[in-house]
Chains A and B, each alone.
Chain A
Amino acid sequence: MKLLTANRLTDGLTLWFSAAGWSEDAAQAARLDDDAAEALLTEWKARETEVVGAYLIPLSAADAPVQREHVREFVRANGPTIGQTADEIARLHGRADIFQEY
């Protein structure tokens, strides 16, 4: 399974492709089978006036990004992990952190 992610052109915010289109909340991301994921990736790479830097995140059996993408995607989905002046995306969406399992 894979997730499709990108950044919105106008404000740069991180987006995940959900059943209802692009969502700012990683928890809404649709689990896509590989063929569907590739087709969507091709489509959205061409739609450059809407999103930029589209790519797929492969998921492990434990439903978390695999290998070297793990920490990166954890931070991308939940916000900086540094407290105080940082924005906490997870809190913004009123949910717990996702992609925890190592």
Chain B
Amino acid sequence: MYVYDSFDHAFVRDRNAEFADQVARRLSGELSEDQFKPLRLMNGLYLQLHAYMLRIAVPYGVLSSKQVRKLAHIARTYDRDFGHFTTRQNLQFNWIKLADTPKILEELAEVEMHALQTSGNCIRNTTTDQFAGAARDEHEDPRPWAELIRQWSSNHPEFTFLPRKFKIAITGADRDRAAVRVHDIGLHAKPEGFDLYVGGGLGRTPSLGHRIKTGLKGEQLLSYLEACLRVYNRYGRRDNSYKARIKILVAALGPDEYARQVEEEWESLDKAAIDAPAAEIVRIRSFFPDPDFKDAKFDRVAYERAQTADKAFARWVKNNTLAHKRDDHVSVTISLKPVGLPPGDASSAQMDVMADVAEQYAYSELRVSHEQNVILPHVPKADLYALYTRLDAANLSTANGGKITDMIACPGLDYCSLANARSIPLAQDISQRFADANLTDKIGDLQIKISGCINACGHHHVGHIGILGVDKQGIEFYQILLGGRADENAALGVITGKGLPAEAVPAAIERVVQLYLQLRTSDSERFIDAVERLGRNTFAEALHEPA
């Protein structure tokens, strides 16, 4: 993974000193709350329902064991012993003291981490494929490009007060696991260069990104992004924050006109002053080699015998491992979705266990997925059973990767000051309903995504089943969407009928699922395939019709 040099260390040190000064000025009264708010947000510090929340940047979701141990330490020392992994591949703490934040940032800097630009109207953490560098279908490792963007966007003098937040995602595989078409800018690396999508997003006005550029050379990526951002910064709406995202500008101008303005701006830029030279790209790439793959003697017979002897292990291998580019390795998903518990939460003890097993079995490398799980990208098959046993002892072996209980849920009204309804208790109720692992295996791949308000942090528009919490006169209701997907065939789900009260939702979902099981042509027709074949209405009726 990327390792800071003296420049990177100096930058984070300077930036933390700036924030410590801002905190001191806020505490003394030199800064008003109105003035301080955008400054603290640019350091990931929110004031939520119960306390300050600190969102820590995990650049493109990549973590080392050492970093995870530091996060565990922060959870224990400054928070209430747990953290929450987010859909932007970051980690947030829910009970942080303002006065402690400079100290926490110092601790993070020791392990080359920070909380910069995890909020605010600036360029946010670039997200990517959690299986980058390991997946079989990858032709370009997106991590060096994400790192290049991270550096370019850090403290960018022109783009720190954009109309709204700005999110970039990048993938380099055939299958899009980074949801590039629902980002402000999505980059899909192809052999001839990047495809660039603009104006995708969820929230109040969900839309899929438009491809405005193909064959963009990596060496010109930064200047092109600069042109895209400049047009947005100058002409994005600022009169109404709900209409300030770039998707609104692109829709108003039309993708062709937006693209024309970008090209014109790009022509006017001094590209050589903006684009990092080839040598810098080579330097950044050099930090992302394959790990020193262990040529462990892989005993296929023993591997299969372990699965025969331990059915739970066999299930976990089937659901939570992904084929690796090397036959003797796999990528492992550590599910943070145990039945009945908050999706994405991990205790400090669990973080320590994940750090330890990554060190022992997975070359000390971990990833955060936007599905709110933790990934070990490279695990020798020879070590898989030993790894599983360690995870199982820490309640980290839930075998539901990609299944109906592997839900995305935003923090919702249990924590978030923007939410209209709770998300987590509903996720817990649904997962209790589908607690039977045989049933979830039979159902197969099915993504439920839950948001507690229209801002869509829980990605409800792109869930196979999406759930949106709304408030009606002090009572929480949930609208159900069907047919969304965030992959290379991205589609937006459609709201079906009236909202349901929380207690009616699990049964409604169960009716839809039972109907799917009746109607599917074979086990290999996934839920989303059946919805697309038969139409959403077929299933919408089951949602709202008592059985």
A residues adjacent to B (C-beta < 8 A): 7, 9-14, 48-49, 52-53, 66-72, 75-76, 79-87, 89, 102
- Taken together as a complex, chains A and B put the C-alpha atoms of A25 and B48 apart, in Å, by 17
A84 / chain B contacts, CB cutoff of 8 Å = 341-342, 345
Complex Cα–Cα for A70 and B476 (A): 10
Bound Cα distance from A67 to B98, whole angstroms: 32
When the two chains form the complex, which single residue of B26, B80, B414 contacts A75, counting CB atoms closer than 8 Å?
A: B414
Is A13's CB under 8 angstroms from B81's CB?
no
Contact B342 A11 (CB under 8 A): no
> Which one, B29, B48, B52, B414, contacts A86 given CB within 8 A?
B414
A87 / chain B contacts, CB cutoff of 8 Å: 50, 80, 95
Bound together, the chains give a CA A48 to CA B81 distance in angstroms of 30
The residue in A69, A70, A80, A81 that gathers the most chain B C-beta atoms within 10 A of its C-beta is A80
Interface flags, B405-445, vs A, CB<8A=1, else 0:
00000000111000011101100100000000000000000
B220 at interface, CB cutoff 8 A = no
Complex-state Cα separation, A89 to B49, whole angstroms: 12
Closest 4 CB pairs of A and B: A12-B52, A70-B474, A80-B414, A85-B82
Contact A85 B414, beta carbon cutoff 8 Å: no
A11 and chain B: residue at smallest CB distance:
B97
Total contacting residues, chain B, CB less than 8 A: 38
Overall SS of chain B's interface = mixed
**Are B96 and A86 closer than 8 Å at their CB atoms?**
no
Question: In whole angstroms, how far apart are the Cα atoms of A11 and B98 in the complex?
Answer: 5
Which residues from chain A contact B267 at a C-beta distance below 8 Å? Answer: none
Q: Can you spell out 8 A-B residue pairs with CB atoms less than 8 angstroms apart?
A: A10-B97, A12-B52, A13-B51, A48-B29, A48-B33, A72-B413, A75-B49, A80-B50
In contact, B27 and A68 (Cβ under 8 angstroms): no
> Given the complex of chains A and B, what is the CA–CA distance between A76 and B413 in angstroms?
9
Q: Which residues of A contact B347 (CB under 8 A)?
A: 85
> In B75-118, which residues have CB < 8 Å from any A CB?
80-82, 95-99
Given contacts A7-B47, A10-B99, A12-B48, list 15 more A-B pairs with CB under 8 A: A9-B98, A13-B50, A14-B49, A14-B50, A49-B29, A67-B474, A71-B413, A71-B474, A71-B475, A80-B414, A80-B424, A84-B341, A84-B342, A84-B345, A102-B474
Q: Which of B52, B99, B420 has the most CB of A within 10 A?
A: B52
Residues of B within 8 A of A80 (CB): 50, 414-415, 424
Contact A53 B47 (CB under 8 A): yes
The answer to whether B95 and A49 have CB atoms under 8 Å apart is: no
Closest Cβ of chain B to A46, distance in Å, is 11
Chain B residues at the A interface, C-beta cutoff of 8 Å: 26-29, 32-33, 47-52, 80-82, 95-99, 341-342, 345, 347, 413-415, 420-422, 424-425, 428, 471, 473-476
Complex CA distance for A82 and B51, rounded to whole angstroms:
17
Closest to B100 in A: A11
Once bound together, how far apart are the Cα atoms of A49 and B98, in whole Å?
Answer: 12
Q: Which residue of B lies closest to A45 (CB)?
A: B33
- Separation of A1 and B471 alpha carbons in the complex (Å): 23
* Contact A12 to B51, CB < 8 A, known contacts A75-B413, A80-B415, A85-B347: yes
Q: Tell me if A11 and B473 are in contact (CB < 8 A).
A: no
- A10, A49, A75, A85, most chain B CB atoms within 10 A: A85
Q: How far is the CA of A11 from the CA of B420 in the complex (A)?
A: 24
Q: How far is the CA of A70 from the CA of B413 in the complex (A)?
A: 11
B421: which of A66, A67, A69, A71 is its contact (CB, 8 Å)? A71
Q: A71 and B422 in contact (CB under 8 A), knowing A13-B51, A52-B47?
A: yes
**B-chain residues with CB within 8 Å of residue A69 when the two chains form the complex:** 474
**In whole angstroms, how far apart are the Cα atoms of A53 and B48 in the complex?**
11
Complex Cα distance A14/B94, Å? 13
Known: A52-B33, A71-B422, A72-B49. A12 touches B98 (CB 8 A): yes
Task: Evaluate whether A68 and B473 lie within 8 angstroms (CB atoms) in the complex, with A9-B98, A75-B414 already known.
Answer: yes
Measured between beta carbons, the chain A residues less than 8 angstroms from B341 are 83-85
Contacts of A82 in B (CB 8 A): 342, 414, 424-425, 428
Q: Which residues of B contact A12 (CB under 8 A)?
A: 47-48, 50-52, 96-98
Q: Which residues of the partner chain B approach A86 to less than 8 Å between Cβ atoms? A: 342, 414
CB pair B28–A49 under 8 Å, yes or no, is yes
In the complex the two chains form, what is the Cα distance from A71 to B96 in whole Å?
Answer: 23
Cα-based distance from A68 to B471 in the complex (angstroms)? 7
Within the assembled complex, what's the spacing in Å between the Cα atoms of A68 and B469?
13
A81 to B428, CA, bound (A): 11
Min distance, Cβ B182 to any Cβ of chain A, angstroms: 27
Complex contacts, A52 vs chain B, CB 8 Å:
33, 47
Q: Knowing A48-B32, A69-B474, A71-B476 are in contact, say whether A7-B422 is a contact too (CB < 8 A).
A: no
Inter-chain contacts of B47 with A (CB < 8 A): 7, 12, 52-53
CB contacts (< 8 Å) of A79 on chain B: these are 50
What is the minimal beta-carbon distance from A102 to any residue of chain B, in angstroms?
Answer: 7
Least Cβ–Cβ distance between B473 and chain A, in angstroms: 5
Are B29 and A7 neighbours in the complex by a CB distance under 8 Å? no
Question: Is the beta-carbon distance between A11 and B474 smaller than 8 angstroms?
Answer: no
Q: Please name all residues of chain B whose beta carbon is closer than 8 Å to the beta carbon of A13 when the two chains form the complex.
A: 50-51
| Chain A, residue nearest B34 (CB) | A48
Task: Name the CB-closest residue of B to A49.
Answer: B29
Determine how close the nearest CB of chain B comes to the CB of A82; give it in whole angstroms: 5
User: What is the chain B residue whose CB lies nearest that of A51?
Assistant: B33
Chain A residue at minimum C-beta to C-beta distance from B50:
A14
> A81 CA to B420 CA in the complex, in Å?
15
Closest B-chain residue to A85, C-beta based?
Answer: B82
Q: How distant is the Cα of A14 from the Cα of B47 in the complex, in angstroms?
A: 10
Question: Chain B contacts of A48 at CB under 8 A?
Answer: 29, 32-33
* Cβ contact of A49, chosen from B27, B424, B473, cutoff 8 A: B27
